[in-house]
Amino acid sequence: MDFVSACHRCTMARQAAYIVGELVVRILLLVIFLITEDMTPFIREIQPEERWLYKYPHIQHDAVPTTVMFTISIATPLIVVIVYSTVKRDKIEAFQGILAVSLALVLNGVVTNTVKLMYGRPRPDFFSRCFPDGKWSKDMKCTGDPDAILEGRKSFPSGHSSFSFTGLTFAAVYLAGKLHCFQGKGRGQSWRLLLAGLPLLGATMIALSRTSDYRHHWQDVAVGSTMAYTVYRQYYPALSKPCCDMPHVAITPLADSALSNYDVDQDTLIQVKTSDSAIKMI
């Protein structure tokens, strides 16, 4: 009994260290994101021949406000994960899904802000921010609100685009895995593909609204985020694997090795059950 108790305490200690470590990483990334939000971007010189790119009107109200964008981008993948794991009564699935979503979003925020600050591309409405009275000078001495002017130099890439595509692409890929859209019985069934692809339509609409608001150039929103799938693959197998509906921690190293070396059919796949209290890193 003493040996069993010692093993149990050791397992619980590893679980606690794992959870704390994951939480610390996300908090650090969130802090970095918030700090970079207020940093001054690179002041890029605007050449005379390209000034026409930045003379669009400044619209006061966004078609998709920032608060709405964040709500959709964060809530959608979390709701999908929570609903699925609740139906399946799988705490491991819920835990791994929330870890993946949270990491994808905060990591995307850091990368997006870093590129914005380094590149410093003016927004299409930059001249309206710089010279709100419409009288602009050749020496580019701005007379507008300093905060609005600095924000006007953070066009590339679009934060709305990157966040919406990160959150909603994760939801789409997550659904594709659960529905086996690209493997076995799920192939050739259009309803599965349409359901999984629905979040991508929402992300596309949010991204395109940034061009009609004159907040971003088309190149800014065209740079879609690959962060979602990159982080997804850290927690879940490829969509072509028979076990694509299971997180990595629910697959034994033996089963995972077999899948990577042999063509295992879904009907013959042995899925390993894991207890709700066990979190095994592989």
Query: What is the tens place of the pLDDT at every residue in 161-177?
Result: 999 999 999 999 999 99
The pLDDT value given to residue 273? 41
Point out the residues that are catalytic.
160, 216
Instruction: Give the Cα separation of 245 and 271 in Å (integer).
Output: 11
Q: What is the pLDDT along the chain (282 residues), one digit of tens a residue?
A: 565 566 666 767 787 888 888 999 999 999 999 999 989 999 988 888 888 899 899 888 899 999 999 999 999 999 999 999 999 998 889 999 999 999 999 999 999 999 999 999 999 999 999 988 877 777 778 888 899 999 999 999 999 999 999 999 999 999 999 999 998 877 888 899 999 999 999 999 999 999 999 999 988 888 755 677 888 888 888 888 888 888 887 765 434 444 444 444 444 443 434 434 343 433
Query: CB–CB of 186/155 below 8 Å?
Result: no
**pLDDT tens digits along 61-83:** 899 999 999 999 999 999 999 99
Count how many Cα atoms sit within 13 Å of the Cα of residue 130 in the half-sphere of its side chain.
22
| Residue 230: per-residue pLDDT | 83
**What local confidence, expressed as pLDDT, does residue 138 receive?**
73
Give yes or no for a contact between 108 and 158, defined as CB atoms under 8 angstroms apart. no
Q: For 31, left (φ over 0), alpha (ψ -120 to 50), or beta?
A: alpha
- Taking only the tens place, the pLDDT of each residue in 115-137 is 999 999 999 999 999 988 877 77
Q: Can you read off the two tokens belonging to residue 216?
A: 């971003």
Q: Determine the distance from the C-alpha atom of residue 64 to the mean position of all C-alpha atoms in its chain, rounded to a whole number.
A: 18
Q: Note the pLDDT of residue 5.
A: 67
d(Cα 280, Cα 282) in Å, to the nearest integer?
6
pTM for this model (two decimals): 0.82
What is the per-residue pLDDT for 224?
57
| pLDDT score, position 279 | 39
| pLDDT value of position 51 | 85
What confidence score (pLDDT) does residue 36 get?
95
What pLDDT does 77 receive? 96
User: What's the pLDDT tens digit per position in 263-281?
Assistant: 444 444 434 344 343 434 3
Q: Which amino acid is at 4?
A: V
pLDDT of residue 276: 41
Residues 169-190 as b/e (b if ≥16 CB within 10 A, e otherwise) read bbbbbbbbbbbbbbbeebeeee
